[in-house]
Amino acid sequence: MSKVFAVNAGSSSLKFKLFQLPEEKVLTDGVVERIGLEEGICTIRVDGEKISTHLPIKDHQQAVDLLLKALIKYKIVEKLEEIDACGHRVLHGGEKYSDSAIVTSEVLQDILDMKDLGPLHMPANYTGIEAFSKALPNVKHVAVYDTSFHLTMEKSTFLYALPLEYYEKYHVRRYGFHGTSHKYIAQTYTEIVGDKNKNIISLHLGNGASLCAIKNGKCINTSMGFTPLAGIMMGGRSGDIDPSIIPYLMEKTGLSAEDIIEVCNKKSGFLGISGVSSDARDIQKAVDEGNPRAILAREMYALRVIDYIGSYFVQLGSLDALVFTAGLGENDVKVRSEICELLKESLGVKLDEKLNVTTKGKRGKISAEDSKVEVWVIPTDEELMIARDTKRLLNL
Active site residues: 146
CA distances from 216 to 116, 187, 222, 316, 374 (A): 33, 10, 15, 10, 16
Nearest to 290 by CA among 279, 303, 276: 276
Question: Running DSSP on this structure, what letter comes out for residue 291?
Answer: -
Q: Distance (Å, rounded) from C-alpha 233 to C-alpha 220? A: 21
Q: Distance (Å, rounded) from C-alpha 264 to C-alpha 161? A: 22
Q: Distance (Å, rounded) from C-alpha 274 to C-alpha 271? A: 5
Nearest to 131 by CA among 276, 306, 13, 295: 13
Answer whether 99's CB lies under 8 Å from 182's CB: no
- Please tell me whether the peptide bond between 22 and the residue prior to it is cis, using omega within 30 degrees of 0: yes
What's the full length of the chain, in residues?
396
Nearest to 27 by CA among 86, 76, 79, 84: 76
